[in-house]
Amino acid sequence: MKQSKLFMPTLREVPADAEAISHQLLLRAGFMRQNASGIYSYLPLAKRVLSKIEGIVREEMENAGAQELLMPAIQPAELWEETGRWDIYGPELMRLTDRHDRRFALGATHEELITSLVRDELNSYKKLPVNLFQIQMKYRDERRPRFGLLRGREFIMKDAYSFHSTQESLDAEYENMFNAYSNIFSRVGLEFRPVVADSGAIGGKDTHEFHALAAIGEDTIVYSNESNYAANLEMAETLDQYPRQAAEPEALEEVHTGDAKTIESVGEYLGVKSEESIKTVIFKTEQGLVMALVRGDHEVNDIKLKNHVGALDITMATDEEIEEALHSKPGTLGPIGTDMRIVADYAVRSLTNAVCGANKAETHYIHVDPSRDFAAEYTDLRFAIEGDASPDGQGIVQFARGIEVGQVFKLGTRYSEGMNATFLDEGGKAQPLIMGCYGIGVSRTLSAVVEQHYDERGIIWPKAIAPFDIHLIVVNAKNEEQLSLGESLYADLTKAGYSVLLDDRKERAGVKFADADLIGVPVRINVGKMASEGIVELKSRAGGETQEVSQADLAERVRALYDSL
Ligand code: ATP
Ligand code: MG
């Protein structure tokens, strides 16, 4: 490809609203443009990278036995009504009507569509298992599209769905996909971690997310410093390992605490530490209000609470709802003398002389003994903190930020039951299909790779997904000798199987080098002043020495450099 013809509109200025480094670099280097919030065009350089990522995904999926198909982006509303998700999915689902007022959704995901496709076909255990995948645009009207391709409203996803007659078969396929994902993310050049995750609204039980480690990541990953334990913060377990507070329980006492409302200010007022008080937070679920208790220095994990009570939806209760139920305002809430459902963290149970709100203005209790003073369901209810013991008993946990690039789920029969997708088992009995689903954010992966591979001058593509293998720069394209050597090397290298970008533009050398650093092709060859002697410069974008190489030796030296990357 000749750079003089390449549509690669670079920018000198970093757009003000681009916060993520990948977003800035991809805009500056002319890989993409925004057309509307969270909606982008992938320009030729990005399209080349996407094709390579897709190629790796396709190869690994096919090696793992999955088959590619392509489903429509436009899906009839009726399918989503069969599973109830037309209502549950909410405003993220982009909806439209046709000229006959028929309702449709733009595919945010394809469980319903694929289940409708297979339900009449995969009707015998003999036809199972099957794993089908596609690579396609997905649509989600995200509340906050941001960070460029990392959170778009239109984005490219690889989604796969597997169908099984037994749980063992699903378990085996889950592991198979888990391994395929590990191969894919290694091959695209990501430093990543598989983490235990929450299954959220999609339903199902076992699930892992694959996270690319990067500071911009929206998720916190909790991992052990000694084992390969890793979990999303939402799911990271904490152990019930709290020594009982030393002091003997004293008589419960009501005390005036003035306008102190926070754990800290009440603690200061009474001269007690945060870890000697009980924090009370009220949540609202479709089952009613629930009181959550954690130790004063801990935070309530709402996902753990949601899972414990088996709620579909959970939000913080409003001040009005709390006042109506407890006749008190946040700041002086507590578990004593209420008939609200109480769920408490294990750490609360180990307290003996604790402080908590008295559900009365300007008043708290002291010398609270949980086992004596109120009844609660005890469970692991708090967010993990750095330094906690690792749940697998090996080492302590640390935190890192991650970008979710993929996820594998065991869906079970959530969709097949809702959509009446059954097969006949060996005994001739109809059973719901057992399902798994497996997603990869292809466009998000492109950005995640940039988040891990750049320097102050631009992107440094891992060679497996670079838009070109070699950037061949004719330093002065007005010089005939340089240009003709450049063109002859271009022909040789192309013939040798490399994809080569030839910078034949009549630009200043400084501009050319800056652009080359920005777009980040892994191997660089400069054809400059020594062209008359048949000598060129060879180096890698990532750094290292610049070699002067004769035309005769070039093929071998390029191969050695390329293979070393
Ligand atoms: P998130 O929690 O980041 O919103 P999700 O868990 O809802 O993502 P899935 O339904 O698991 O996403 O989709 C599969 C994959 O698609 C994700 O692992 C992610 O890589 C990608 N993905 C999801 N939402 C977006 C988005 N808005 N923009 C780009 N990629 C996305
Ligand atoms: Mg996910």
Average pLDDT of span 390-401? 94
CATH for 468-564? 3.40.50.800
Sign, CA torsion 416/417/422/425: positive
Better-predicted residue by pLDDT, 17 or 167? 167
Please name the residues in contact with 229: beta carbons below 8 A apart, sequence gap of 6 or more: 223, 390, 391, 392, 394, 397
Average pLDDT of span 234-263? 90
Query: With a 6 A CB cut-off, is 441 part of the ligand 1 pocket?
Result: yes
The pLDDT-based confidence of 204 (bands split at 50, 70, 90) is very low
**pLDDT score for 200:** 57
Write down the pTM of the prediction.
0.89
Average pLDDT of span 112-132? 96
Asked if residue 205 has pLDDT above 70, the reply is no
Bridge pairing between strands 278-285 and 230-232 = unpaired
Please check whether residue 517 is in contact with residue 457, taking contact to mean a CB–CB distance below 8 angstroms.
Answer: yes
Question: Angle CA(21)–CA(24)–CA(30) in degrees, nearest 5?
Answer: 135
Residue nearest atom 3 in ligand 1 by C-alpha distance: 404
**pLDDT score for 165:** 97
Average pLDDT, the chain: 95
- What is the atom index within ligand 1 of the atom nearest the CA of 145? 27
Residue 299, sorted as left (phi over 0), alpha (psi -120 to 50) or beta, turns out to be: beta
**pLDDT score for 84:** 94
Ligand 2 centroid to Cα of residue 404, in Å, is 7
**pLDDT score for 4:** 97
Residue ranges of domains in the chain: 17-198+403-450, 253-379, 468-564
Asked if residue 263 has pLDDT above 80, the reply is yes
Residue nearest atom 22 in ligand 1 by C-alpha distance: 441
Kindly compute the dihedral angle of the four CA atoms of residues 215, 216, 219, 221, in this order, to the nearest 10 degrees.
-10
Please check whether residue 519 is in contact with residue 45, taking contact to mean a CB–CB distance below 8 angstroms.
Answer: yes
d(CA 128, CA 121): 11
Instruction: Report the percent of the chain where pLDDT is more than 70.
Output: 99
Match domain 17-198+403-450 to its CATH number in 3.30.750.24, 3.40.1030.10, 3.90.180.10, 3.30.930.10: 3.30.930.10
d(CA 201, CA 463): 37
Asked if residue 12 has pLDDT above 90, the reply is no
The pLDDT-based confidence of 244 (bands split at 50, 70, 90) is confident
Query: With a 6 A CB cut-off, is 155 part of the ligand 1 pocket?
Result: yes
Q: How many residues does the chain have?
A: 565
Name the one residue in this structure whose structure tokens are 């990953």. 221
The two structure tokens encoding residue 316: 């913080």
Average pLDDT of span 68-93? 96
Ligand 2 centroid to Cα of residue 200, in Å, is 8
Consecutive H or E run containing 272: none
Query: With a 6 A CB cut-off, is 138 part of the ligand 1 pocket?
Result: no
Query: With a 6 A CB cut-off, is 152 part of the ligand 1 pocket?
Result: yes
- What is the atom index within ligand 1 of the atom nearest the CA of 210? 18
Residue nearest atom 19 in ligand 1 by C-alpha distance: 441
Residue among 135, 147, 157 to mutate when testing ligand 1 (max atoms within 8 A of CB): 157
**pLDDT score for 17:** 86
Question: For 8, what's the count of Cα atoms within 13 Å in the CB-facing half-sphere?
Answer: 22
Residue among 85, 154, 159, 444 to mutate when testing ligand 1 (max atoms within 8 A of CB): 444
**pLDDT score for 116:** 97
What does the pLDDT look like over 317-350, one tens digit per residue? 999 999 999 999 999 999 999 999 999 999 999 9
d(CA 549, CA 551): 7
Ligand 1 centroid to Cα of residue 521, in Å, is 28
Q: Does the domain formed by 253-379 have CATH 3.40.980.10?
A: no
Average pLDDT of span 476-492? 96
**pLDDT score for 228:** 87
The pLDDT-based confidence of 203 (bands split at 50, 70, 90) is very low
**pLDDT score for 246:** 75
What does the pLDDT look like over 458-470, one tens digit per residue? 999 999 999 999 9
The pLDDT-based confidence of 199 (bands split at 50, 70, 90) is low
Ligand 2 centroid to Cα of residue 392, in Å, is 24
What does the pLDDT look like over 85-108, one tens digit per residue? 999 999 999 999 999 999 999 999
Average pLDDT of span 528-542? 96
Average pLDDT of span 191-219? 83
Residue nearest atom 13 in ligand 1 by C-alpha distance: 439
| Ligand lying nearest the CA atom of residue 405 | 1
Query: With a 6 A CB cut-off, is 157 part of the ligand 1 pocket?
Result: yes
Asked if residue 129 has pLDDT above 90, the reply is yes
Nearest to 322 by CA among 371, 270, 357, 364: 357
Residue among 40, 50, 403, 407 to mutate when testing ligand 1 (max atoms within 8 A of CB): 407
Please check whether residue 501 is in contact with residue 470, taking contact to mean a CB–CB distance below 8 angstroms.
Answer: yes
